């Protein structure tokens, strides 16, 4: 049975039994403490903990999940993977244990011809929490399981909680006996023979403070008992498909087959290669799904995880012996399997593949540059007689060149060296701690959201800003440093929650509103507005006058000019996006945006820079849309209706079932958006694109000014053109030709100057060659050339001097120069000097050490440099001393 069919049957079974089918949430988690959704129940947490009222009594979903803690273990075992799918059915105070067990057992054992999975009942077992006699009775009654096929396990294995105070409860799992070839009879700990594939959580208790897994106190029972189940889709797939593990199921194994075809190596022939094949298969599929949900490669958080996955896949293919670009072959193979369950991947594959292929190309360049640095580091270690590459060098390769540590370890082992992995780990830990401290310092808010949740329990904040810019309201609560406060006085900066507000909270790329909140005797300046938890709008304010406290009646007033300009910028972003797609095609999809009054930037999927003609065309299409005075409207509908209607969603955003669709000119621009907008496109005003640049592999960024800011920008450019016209005595239309002519003349003059300077340098060759210094029989020329001589001319000088010296006597030439504050050195030897045992590479390294740098080359000529210009004289003396030591031995 194909994985997509297993998925379909699950959803159909529970939909037929009154469950609302809930689409998978995007992989990027909305919880600020998570990078990705790690479990099927995560999107339903607000319902389980009572933060929100569930819109349905029972639900079912197949949730996309990513777990990243064990990336290094992927492939080494057949149990570890990054992307997986969790089937779940959920009850919010509706049915409980008895019904949950009945549903699970029925679906698992019902014949496949009747829509079930058809598992043989004789090999199925149930595990229960050891004190849960109720569950044992249910398994006996519903499934007819005898005592010897029901196993009691402790809190660590069969009692669920989120690891913090809150809902918890006993679990019950369905296990399958895979046979004696997978382990000993009744060995419940090994996890291979008695494989758990469906976990039923009976959420009925409240836990207190304590360790995450066991040993915490149970404080009592929940007022409403809930059901949360998780069926591992990949596990069921390999059980029903008769294969041994998740890497061999229909959604994964074709990538291994393709990798085997490309590399010429066979899966199953070599354990080391098998690890690499599994890494490729897992990471390619994971990257496909993560990019599909809007993440792009980067150096932080989700982007960094994605970058690691892509680079580990590419690296593994290279270690399998395939040197050519591989994702162009592997990613479409994964798409063919995954589109059966996620058809949106095929529609979006142009964008997905563009990002992935660009990242591989960037990594291939990185490998080339990083390998050169690695080779140099290895030579230095070997020249010192050491056997270990320092942790700092491994960290530099990782941090600067993107080398995974295991790649560095493997390459070092090929050279007979170890790597100080402990030192590397220490530096990585320090970097992570700095990153965490930086994240805490940013505006993302407090990691502890308990204060916000306490105020959220009093009700949602009503947003009135679509209809009005001022609202009479009341203070619902205050927070100081994330903690609920009773009052705030003049001069303090605190957070204020109102019952309703016209202030737009920053989201969807639109910056928050500014304005005032006033009351009798009090005035608050609104500095920022955020939504730290769903349904709650929080105003960061400075108390300008008086005292503010809960219950105070207030008047909230958004700054009118600020909002008008913000609307121009946000609608302008939609216009630019539509213009992009019109000019470049449907693959130029927005992957992020930011707009504030007068300014917008838009990131979009594209692999190459836009030329000036294309930029001008995009700008013209956008301004024509503004001139056409297109109507702007917003409508509410369900998410499936919006998708069917062709509305574009911002990747990575999480949407409710009811979404807001903003149209500009009907289907020309139709996007899911919660932001504020103008009423007609003409109100956007002028749009002028100011820059276009790269912000990552396969992602470009457009920046533009809007409205009055655009006119101000154009005015400055006009003034600049006028100034240049006056200075160059040319009309504006003649400026490009005049500037090109001046540039050409300047380049010609620089070339002539270079020739003169080179001639002067080389003119000294004859005199230098005629007056060498005798160093124990070696003719030595040590010369400091004038400052500004480049490396090429320095090399010419050294070779010219060497060529003028007698061939029958050993000769060494060392010449140095300082260019832009950085010294460079070239050492050249004739054949006789090399017969005496001298080597240019050794001598140039000695000189470069005095210059605070490094060098290398062949035995007859070598070049180096450094950063310490004060060491030039010492470098020449060091070369002379080394010659003497070498020949006197």
Structural tokens at position 819? 């260019």
Rounded to whole angstroms, how far apart are CA atoms 790 and 796? 10
| Placement of tokens 């149209």 in the chain | 663
One-character DSSP codes across 273-341:
HHHHHHHHHHHHHHHHHHHHTT----SSHHHHHHHHHHHHHHHHHHHTT--S--HHHHHHHHHHHHTTT
d(CA 273, CA 605): 34
Q: How far apart are CA 14 and CA 652, in angstroms?
A: 28
What does the alpha-carbon distance between residue 338 and residue 290 come to, in Å, rounded to a whole number? 13
Q: Is 532 helix (H, G, I), strand (E, B) or coil?
A: coil
The verdict on whether residue 574 carries a ligand-binding annotation is: yes
65 is an annotated ligand-binding site residue: no
Determine the distance from the C-alpha atom of residue 23 to the mean position of all C-alpha atoms in its chain, rounded to a whole number.
23
Alpha carbon 566 to its chain centroid, in Å, reads 28
Structure tokens at 26: 């995007």
SS (H, E, C) 577-625: HHHHHHHHCCCCCEEEEEEECCEEEEEEECCCCCCHHHHHHHHHHHHHH
Q: Which residues fall within 8 angstroms of residue 347, CB to CB, at 6 or more apart? A: none
Tokens of 518: 């006033």
87: its two tokens: 């089937």
Furthest C-alpha separation in the chain: 108
Q: Is 627 helix (H, G, I), strand (E, B) or coil?
A: helix
Distance CA 816, CA 823 (A): 7
> Which residues have a Cβ under 8 Å from the Cβ of 187 and sit 6 or more positions away?
193, 194
HSE of 491 in the Cβ direction (CA atoms, 13 Å)?
A: 0
Q: Two tokens at 129?
A: 């929490």
**Cβ atoms of residues 855 and 865 within 8 Å:** yes
Hey, which bits of 742-845 come out as E strands? 773-775, 778-784, 811-819, 822-829
The annotation status of 80 as a binding-site residue, yes or no, is no
Whether residue 570 is annotated as binding a ligand: the answer is yes
HEC string for 42-66 = HHHHHHHCCCCCCCCCEEEEEEEEE
The answer for residues whose C-beta is within 8 angstroms of residue 194's C-beta and 6 or more apart is: 125, 175, 176, 177, 178, 183, 186, 187, 188
SS3 category, 440: helix
Cβ burial 79-118 (10 Å sphere, 16+ → b, else e): ebbbbbbbbbbbbbebbbbebbbbbbbebbbbeeeeeebe
Binding residues for Zn(2+): 570, 574, 673, 677
Query: What are the binding residues?
Result: 570, 574, 673, 677
């Amino acid at each position: 049975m194909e994985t997509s069919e297993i998925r379909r049957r699950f959803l159909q079974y529970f939909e037929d039994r009154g469950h609302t089918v809930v689409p998978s949430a995007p992989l990027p988690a909305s919880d600020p403490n998570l990078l990705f959704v790690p479990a099927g129940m995560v999107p339903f947490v607000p319902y389980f903990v009572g933060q929100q009222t569930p819109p349905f009594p029972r639900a079912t979903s197949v949730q996309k999940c990513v777990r990243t803690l064990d990336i290094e273990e992927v492939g080494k075992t057949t149990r570890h993977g990054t992307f997986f799918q969790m089937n779940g059915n959920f009850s919010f105070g509706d049915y409980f244990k008895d019904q949950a067990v009945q549903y699970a057992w029925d679906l698992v054992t019902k014949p496949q011809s009747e829509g079930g999975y058809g598992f043989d009942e004789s090999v199925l077992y149930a595990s229960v929490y050891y004190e849960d006699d109720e569950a044992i009775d249910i398994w006996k009654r519903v499934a007819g399981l005898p005592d010897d096929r029901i196993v009691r396990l402790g809190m660590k294995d069969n009692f669920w909680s989120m690891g913090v105070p809150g809902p918890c409860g006993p679990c019950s799992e369905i296990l399958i006996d895979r046979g004696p070839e997978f382990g000993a009879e009744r060995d419940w700990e090994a996890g291979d023979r008695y494989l758990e594939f469906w976990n039923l959580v009976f959420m009925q208790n409240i836990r207190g403070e304590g360790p995450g897994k066991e040993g915490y106190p149970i404080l009592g029972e929940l007022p409403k008992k809930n059901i949360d189940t998780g069926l591992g889709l990949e596990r069921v797939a390999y059980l029903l498909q008769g294969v041994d593990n998740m890497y061999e199921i229909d959604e994964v194994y074709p990538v291994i087959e393709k990798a085997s075809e490309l590399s010429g190596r066979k899966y199953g022939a070599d354990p080391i290669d098998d690890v690499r094949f599994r890494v490729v298969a897992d990471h390619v599929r994971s990257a496909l799904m993560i990019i599909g949900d809007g993440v792009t490669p980067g150096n932080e958080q989700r982007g960094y995880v994605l970058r690691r996955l892509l680079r580990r896949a590419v690296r593994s293919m290279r270690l399998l012996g395939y040197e050519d670009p591989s994702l162009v072959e592997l990613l479409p193979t994964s798409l063919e399997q995954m589109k059966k369950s996620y058809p949106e991947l095929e529609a979006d594959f142009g964008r997905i593949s563009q990002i992935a292929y660009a990242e591989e190309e960037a990594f291939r360049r990185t490998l080339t540059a990083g390998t050169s640095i690695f080779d140099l580091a290895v030579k230095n270690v070997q020249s010192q007689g050491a056997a270990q590459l320092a942790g700092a060098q491994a960290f530099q390769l990782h941090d600067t060149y993107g080398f995974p540590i295991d790649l560095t370890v493997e390459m070092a082992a090929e050279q007979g060296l170890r790597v100080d992995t402990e030192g590397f780990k220490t530096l990585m830990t320090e970097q992570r701690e700095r990153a965490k401290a930086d994240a805490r310092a940013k505006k993302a808010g407090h990691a502890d959201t308990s204060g916000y949740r306490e105020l959220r329990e009093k009700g949602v904040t009503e947003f009135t800003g679509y209809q009005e810019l001022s609202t009479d309201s009341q203070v619902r609560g205050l927070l100081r440093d994330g903690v609920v406060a009773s009052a705030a006085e003049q001069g303090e900066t605190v957070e204020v929650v109102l019952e309703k507000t016209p202030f737009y909270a920053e989201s969807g790329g639109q910056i928050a509103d500014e304005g005032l909140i006033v009351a009798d005797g009090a005035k608050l300046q609104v500095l920022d507005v955020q939504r730290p938890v769903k349904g709650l709008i929080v105003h960061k304010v400075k108390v300008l006058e008086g005292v503010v406290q809960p219950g105070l009646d207030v008047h909230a007033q958004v700054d009118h000019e600020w909002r008008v300009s913000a609307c121009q910028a946000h609608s302008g972003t939609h216009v630019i996006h539509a213009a992009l797609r019109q000019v470049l095609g449907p693959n130029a999809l927005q992957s992020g945006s930011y707009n504030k009054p007068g300014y917008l930037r838009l990131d979009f999927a594209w692999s190459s820079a836009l030329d000036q003609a294309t930029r001008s065309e995009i700008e013209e299409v956008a301004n024509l849309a503004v001139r056409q005075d297109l109507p702007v409207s917003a409508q509410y509908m369900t998410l499936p209706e919006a998708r069917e209607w062709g509305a574009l969603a911002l990747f990575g955003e999480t949407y409710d079932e009811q979404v807001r669709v903003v149209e500009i000119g009907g289907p020309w621009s139709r996007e899911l958006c919660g932001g504020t907008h103008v009423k007609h496109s003409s109100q956007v005003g002028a749009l002028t694109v100011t820059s276009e640049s790269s912000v990552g592999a396969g992602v470009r960024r457009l920046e533009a000014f809007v409205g009055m800011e655009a006119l101000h920008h154009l005015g400055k450019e006009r003034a600049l053109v006028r100034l240049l016209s006056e200075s160059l005595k040319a009309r504006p239309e003649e400026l490009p030709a005049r500037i090109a002519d001046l540039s050409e003349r300047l380049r010609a003059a620089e070339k002539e100057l270079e020739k003169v300077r080179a001639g002067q340098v080389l003119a000294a060759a004859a005199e230098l060659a005629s007056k060498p210094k005798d160093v124990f029989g070696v003719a030595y020329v040590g010369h400091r050339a004038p400052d500004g001589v480049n490396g090429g001319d320095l090399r010419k000088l050294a070779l010219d001097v060497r060529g003028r010296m007698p061939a029958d006597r050993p000769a060494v030439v060392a010449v140095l120069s300082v260019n832009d504050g950085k010294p460079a050195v070239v050492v050249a030897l004739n054949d006789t000097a090399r017969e005496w045992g001298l080597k240019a590479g050794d001598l140039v390294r000695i000189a470069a050490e005095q210059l605070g740098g490094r060098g290398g080359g062949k035995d007859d000529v070598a070049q180096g440099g450094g950063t310490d210009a004060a060491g030039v004289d010492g470098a020449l003396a060091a070369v002379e001393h080394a010659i003497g030591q070498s020949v006197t031995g």
